[in-house]
Amino acid sequence: MLCSVPYVFGYIVIISAQNIWMLYFGRMLTGLASGITSLVVPVYISEVSHPKVRGMLGSCVQLMVVTGILGAYVAGITLKWRWLAVLCTFPSCIMLLFMSFMPETPRFLLNQNKRSEAIAALRFLRGPHADHEWECRQIEASVQEEGLNLSEFKNPSIYRPLLIGVTLMFFQQVTGINAVMFYAETIFEDANFKDSRMASVVVGSIQVCFTAVAALIIDKTGRKVLLYISASPGTESSVSWLAVLSLGLFVAGFALGWGPVPWLVISEIFPLKARGVSSGACVLTNWVMAFLVTKEFHDFIGFLTSYGTFWLFSAFCCLNVTFTAFYVPETKRQTLEQIEAYFRRS
């Protein structure tokens, strides 16, 4: 809820910008809010969701992200950038309004020894007919009141999921997705596509559609299967129609797995007492790599040529498959407590 403040204030600064430094300041504020929400939202959803639908609801994080990207593409066709900033203030205001009706997560409340509030939260989330006492006892069995010490990162139950989460976020970005999405219009212009702006809308639409498909099937197929499939489509382009077709295939593949699944997995695999620190490390890795890949994309093109750059992204996709096969656990239909117990045993 507090993130709505830097979101709205940041966009107000952008709307009223008189120089480049005001634009930078506005972007810093909205970036601050984006960084915090990308950390908190997946964790909040995983902690309030029932195991049977946690995959679908967790995947909706990425679905909303790509829906926002598509909305920016579509609105950008007709709106000037100041009016685009005006439009962007509305989602954060809506978030503030609706989150005021939501409870704190039961796991957090039990960790704060607020059992009655946790029961009330479960009643709100599960409805009046669910066995709230049973679920509360299940959560209580894994809640540990003591804080997290640095020495505890020697424990495999803490450092193993952390390494998995950080690596997932690294691989998500080195597929090149942000470079492709942020420079989609430029890529299509270089490929001599007639209407590069509409091509960007098409690619954005594909991403939304396949992310929605992933959200619908992820609780049936599991996380690992989608990561395997997702790393298979590659990127290559030589003529205009092939540029749209190949990038569309790449975006569709990414949206099926490597888009939503890493965000879902990092919200599931960390023990409660390490969830904040570990999730923060993963989100930091994600945004640092997103920055580096996006910023250096043109340098890669100049150094490796466009063919070499996309072959490099493809090589990382192959590494994604290997890493998923050997190190990523399947968390389908397991409670957060069962996932935590798995890492304690292994």
Residue 186: CATH number of its domain: 1.20.1250.20
Number of domains comprising the chain: 2
**Max Cα–Cα distance, the chain, nearest Å:** 63
Any idea what DSSP says for residue 346? -
Q: Are 298 and 176 in contact (CB under 8 A)?
A: no
In whole angstroms, give the CA distance from residue 33 to residue 6: 6
- Residue 27 confidence (pLDDT): 94
Q: Are 42 and 263 in contact (CB under 8 A)?
A: yes
- Residues 234 and 158 occupy one common structural domain: yes
| 21 within domain boundaries | no
| 298 within domain boundaries | yes
Which of 145, 166, 194 is the endpoint of a domain?
145
Q: Which domain covers residue 169, as residue numbers?
A: 54-78+154-345
- Residues 233 and 162 occupy one common structural domain: yes
Examine the pLDDT at 19 and tell me if it is beyond 90.
yes
- Residues 141 and 225 occupy one common structural domain: no
- Residues 63 and 167 occupy one common structural domain: yes
Examine the pLDDT at 284 and tell me if it is beyond 60.
yes
- Residues 70 and 124 occupy one common structural domain: no
Examine the pLDDT at 261 and tell me if it is beyond 60.
yes
Distances (CA, A) of 140 to 28, 109, 111, 118, 143: 39, 10, 8, 10, 5
Model confidence, pTM:
0.78
Mean pLDDT over residues 98-109, rounded?
Answer: 91
Examine the pLDDT at 235 and tell me if it is beyond 60.
no
- Residues 129 and 229 occupy one common structural domain: no
- Residues 137 and 268 occupy one common structural domain: no
| 94 within domain boundaries | no
- Residues 186 and 301 occupy one common structural domain: yes
In whole angstroms, give the CA distance from residue 289 to residue 270: 21
